[in-house]
Amino acid sequence: MENSVTPAVWFIGNFEKPVDSKNRIVIPRCFRDALESQDLILMRWYEHALALFPLHVWEPLAEKARRMSLTGGPKKREARLSFFSGALSQRMDNQGRIVLSKDMKQYAGIDRESVILGDGDRIQILAPHRYAIFREDHDALLSEGLDEILAGTDVPEFTPRGVTHSDSSEETGENSAEDDDK
């Protein structure tokens, strides 16, 4: 039986990219390789950024939005409508470009330049001035985020390639007190 699981792709890094006269931006090569021939969804995102999703990553979010109750009041209906109306289907052209609609550019405050950020399983596209604001608070945000990410996580110890650790107890065959506790 063929394995249908797609290997995980992580979008990481940040790139400055111009917006051309036809409102296109070039997706960085390291991201393009993972996105070629895929359907993509570009949507309005948090803090006036845009998010570019591979379709298979966006679909579970869309399913949750679709299930939002239409009878849950105006706020729920507006949230659902905003989610779907703020999204556009995209496909990269042969040069790895996507098109930013006028509405998307206006929402994000993007004019002639953009900043493209890896965000794990999605890509964010920001106006340079918004990225500068984010960078001002970057150290504090990184510390808070790392605290949450690493909480309760056993971080593996880094061992450089070609380096082995030998403990004198291993060499002599003796057990350490630490081994006796196991």
Please list, in sequence order, all residues whose beta carbon lies within 8 angstroms of the beta carbon of residue 141, skipping any fewer than 6 positions away. Answer: 134
Residue 4: the pLDDT is 38
Of 33-42, 64-73, 86-95, 156-165, highest mean pLDDT: 86-95
pLDDT in tens, 77-124: 888 899 999 999 999 999 999 999 999 999 999 999 999 999 999 999
The two three-digit tokens of residue 93, written as one number: 């052209």
Q: What was the pLDDT predicted at 155?
A: 63
Dist. CA 98–CA 179, nearest whole Å: 57
- What does the pLDDT average to over 126-139? 87
Identify which has the larger pLDDT, 15 or 9.
15
pLDDT band at 165 (very low <50, low <70, confident <90, very high): low
Is 94 buried (19+), middle (13-18) or exposed (0-12) by CB count in 10 A? exposed
Give the integer Cα–Cα distance in Å for 166 and 172: 11
Confidence of residue 10 (pLDDT cuts 50, 70, 90): confident
> Could you give phi then psi for residue 12, rounded to 5 degrees?
-135, 155
182 pLDDT exceeds 70?
A: no
**Boundaries of every domain in the chain:** 14-74+81-144
Least confident of 29-33, 36-40, 124-128, 142-146: 142-146
CATH superfamily of 14-74+81-144: Transcriptional regulator MraZ domain (3.40.1550.20)
